């Protein structure tokens, strides 16, 4: 059976490694390989004193272990090409199925990269003689098996836990925490450098905690073998074996639960205060009915609960991490970050409803109510939370000059986000699994990464006019002008919300059936093949693997020069902050600080534009070369040159 599962996995990978998936795997593999080489270099060179190097290697190995544990949460449930549900009707014992799926899981890029990283143990063991090297080979194999089975165990726990609203919220917390760690790791590095950790090592308590982590048991066995303490060697390696067997047994039990139970469907128990408020909202016409329906969906759909809670947790945790180095400067912007992330995660608003879209299409003239109702519901869902977070953050971490900035940017992004979410939903809809057919994982939100990134950037840009007015007021010491930025933010936000809603309404009226067809066909009728009149042409061609990998890299890397090295240093310069941290522009002298920060911002925008233009130009070139036919609803008509 194990051989059959390995063959199945290899066949699935061979047929699915195309387009964005292949690009993501190539990009991730290269990044992982660089990290693996860095791990080996740390173990082989004298970059740190001998007393510190062991602790540093233990920290890196712990990062690899937690990366495997939290990776499935961060990436939406992990790689699930062989789902346990596929084998639920076969007479296979759970433990045997778990073992087979575990062995099949070694086929892939990530296990190979991790094997290279864990080979740093062999390099580290060279200083402890032949005994240490022999033990290190066994430790490498056990460490690789351990991280893989722990990763599968987390996927099993996730699939069972998130079958309720509490589980969806907890998954969002872990997911957001992982994202914040990846984005704000510079704070931890700065704290380590500032405390001279690389010279004097970790505190004794921290080193003790590292030794008790399973990721350090291989190191413990190697150093014990070098001393001839074979009892400790047996205890460390035996502990790894016992932990692997225990995790495998628990995972087998979770497979039974996952394949024999259904996700918990939450239903309201009576009207209550919230129900009465929604009923009053629904009594205010068709738009109110749609808004009330949307708010109920926000409180019941596990996917929407997860996405909204992820936005809140990300914004709050992102601004709390700098408190480690006693910097409160990001707290006033927590609400704005939540709004931007909430807009990004809601960019596929119509797609999340699946084919339920037909309910609005069968009622002619309802397009306006569908769009405006969803905008109203999103604002009622996001605005109260973000206003409270902004007020609290500004009180605790801001000054009198921060208030107009925070309120102006919040107003602009709220309105801009409300306009962009409906606009992107109808112009770039991503087919998603039907709500009644989703499994226990609320992270099955479809391939929305590119859509999310674009909406996040565009929502941030909507705050530029208000930010310019606030900067002028601060620069020329005109408090009235600074507070005028709030008015500008409200005006631009309202204008963008109305404009985006109007354009989305027109698009929905013109291409509603095509949107429904795209949802029903799972994307077999792509929206890029629909023109302004609703006519359907040929589907868009896929990018070659090289260009697809380049686009993915540009979309991921462009945010570093835009925000951490561009916009944040600009704000710190204009606000008079004396902190420099890791922002490159702040280490320069005037008049070079502002030009360098602007150059970083421009560089990031250029990278994002290039990543967006490449697929668009590829599609245009393909259509121009092939002169594709266009269907007007009756007969195919050749496009004339």
pLDDT at 528 over 80: no
At 545, the pLDDT band (50, 70, 90 cuts) reads: low
Count the alpha carbons within 13 Å of 195 in the hemisphere toward its beta carbon: 13
Kindly list the distances between the CA atom of residue 256 and the CA atoms of 129, 160, 524, in Å, as whole numbers in the listed order: 46, 10, 34
Kindly list the distances between the CA atom of residue 23 and the CA atoms of 115, 305, 431, 554, in Å, as whole numbers in the listed order: 22, 30, 20, 12
pLDDT at 405 over 90: yes
pLDDT over 70 percentage in the chain? 75
Residue 639's pLDDT is what? 40
Mean pLDDT of 450-469: 88
Mean pLDDT of 546-574: 76
Encode pLDDT of 585-603 as tens digits.
888 888 888 889 889 988 9
- β-strands 630-631, 636-637 pairing: antiparallel
pLDDT at 85 over 80: no
Encode pLDDT of 8-27 as tens digits.
777 777 676 665 566 666 76
Encode pLDDT of 318-368 as tens digits.
898 888 777 788 899 999 999 999 999 999 888 888 777 777 777 777 888
Q: 132-136, 289-293, 334-338, 566-570 — which is least confidently predicted? A: 566-570
Rounded to the nearest integer, the mean pLDDT of the chain is 79
User: When comparing pLDDT for 422 and 632, which is higher?
Assistant: 422
Do residues 547 and 618 lie in contact, with contact meaning Cβ atoms separated by under 8 Å?
Answer: yes
pLDDT at 308 over 90: yes
pLDDT at 391 over 70: yes
The CA-based dihedral angle spanning residues 337, 339, 344, 349, taken in that order and rounded to the nearest 10 degrees? 160
Residue 446's pLDDT is what? 56
pTM of the shown model: 0.68
Encode pLDDT of 233-262 as tens digits.
999 999 999 999 998 888 888 877 766 665
Kindly list the distances between the CA atom of residue 387 and the CA atoms of 107, 170, 383, 459, 557, in Å, as whole numbers in the listed order: 48, 23, 6, 17, 30
pLDDT at 495 over 90: yes
Q: Which helix (H) or strand (E) holds 636?
A: strand 636-637
Residue 522's pLDDT is what? 53
Terminal alpha carbon distance of the chain: 58
């Amino acid at each position: 059976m194990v051989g059959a599962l390995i063959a199945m996995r290899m066949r699935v990978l061979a047929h699915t490694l195309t387009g964005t998936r292949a690009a993501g795997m190539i990009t991730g593999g290269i990044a992982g390989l660089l990290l693996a080489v860095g791990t080996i270099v740390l173990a082989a060179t004298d970059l740190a004193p001998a007393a510190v190097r062991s602790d540093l290697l233990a920290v890196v190995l712990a990062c690899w272990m937690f990366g495997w544990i939290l990776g499935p949460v961060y990436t939406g449930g992990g790689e699930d090409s062989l789902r346990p549900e596929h084998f639920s009707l076969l007479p296979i014992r759970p433990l045997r199925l778990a073992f087979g799926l575990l062995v099949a899981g070694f086929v892939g890029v990530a296990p190979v990269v991790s094997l290279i990283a864990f080979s740093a143990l062999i390099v580290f063991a060279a200083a402890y003689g032949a005994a240490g090297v022999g033990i290190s080979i066994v430790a490498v194999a056990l460490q690789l098996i351990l991280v893989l089975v722990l990763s599968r165990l987390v996927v099993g726990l996730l699939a069972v836990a998130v079958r309720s609203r509490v589980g969806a919220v907890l998954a969002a917390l872990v997911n957001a925490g992982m994202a914040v760690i990846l984005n704000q790791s510079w704070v931890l590095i700065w704290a380590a450098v500032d405390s001279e950790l690389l010279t004097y090592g970790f505190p004794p308590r921290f080193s003790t905690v590292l030794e008790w982590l399973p990721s350090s048991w291989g190191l413990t066995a190697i150093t014990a073998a070098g001393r001839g303490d074979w009892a400790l060697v047996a205890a460390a390696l035996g502990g790894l074996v016992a932990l692997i067997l225990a995790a495998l047994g628990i995972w087998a039990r979770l497979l039974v639960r996952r394949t024999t139970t259904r996700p918990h469907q939450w239903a309201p128990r009576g009207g209550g205060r919230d129900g009465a408020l929604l009923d009053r909202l629904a009594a205010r016409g068709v738009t109110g009915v749609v808004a009330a329906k949307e708010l109920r969906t926000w409180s019941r759909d596990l996917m929407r609960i997860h996405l909204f809670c992820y936005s809140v947790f990300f914004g709050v945790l992102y601004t709390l991490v700098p408190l480690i180095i006693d910097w409160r400067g990001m707290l006033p912007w927590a609400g704005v970050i939540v709004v931007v992330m909430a807009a990004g995660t809601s960019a596929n608003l119509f797609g999340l409803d699946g084919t339920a879209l037909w309910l609005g299409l069968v009622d002619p003239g309802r397009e306006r109510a569908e769009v405006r109702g969803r905008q109203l519901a999103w604002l009622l869902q996001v605005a109260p939370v973000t206003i409270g977070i902004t007020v609290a953050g500004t009180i605790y971490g801001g000054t009198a000059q921060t208030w107009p900035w925070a309120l102006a940017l919040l107003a602009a992004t709220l309105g801009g986000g409300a306009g962009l979410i409906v606009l992107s939903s109808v112009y770039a809809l991503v087919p998603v699994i039907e709500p009644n057919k989703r499994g226990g994982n609320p992270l099955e939100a479809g391939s929305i990464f590119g859509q999310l990134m674009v909406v996040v950037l565009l929502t941030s840009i909507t705050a530029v006019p208000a930010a310019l007015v606030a900067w002028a007021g601060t620069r020329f010491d005109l408090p009235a002008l600074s507070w005028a930025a709030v008015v500008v933010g409200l005006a631009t936000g309202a204008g963008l919300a109305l404009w985006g809603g109007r354009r989305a309404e027109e698009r929905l009226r013109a291409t509603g059936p095509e949107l429904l067809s795209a949802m029903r066909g799972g994307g077999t009728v792509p929206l890029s093949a629909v023109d302004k009149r609703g006519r359907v042409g040929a589907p868009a061609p896929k990018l070659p693997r090289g260009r697809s990998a380049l686009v993915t890299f540009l979309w991921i890397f462009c945010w570093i020069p835009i925000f951490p090295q561009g916009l944040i240093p600009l704000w710190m310069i204009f606000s008079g902050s004396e902190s420099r941290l890791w922002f490159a522009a702040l280490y320069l002298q005037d008049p070079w600080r502002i030009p360098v920060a602007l150059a970083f911002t421009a560089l990031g925008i250029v990278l994002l534009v290039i990543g967006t233009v490449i697929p668009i130009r590829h599609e245009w070139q393909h259509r121009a070369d092939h002169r594709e036919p266009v269907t007007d609803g009756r007969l195919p008509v050749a496009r004339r040159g």
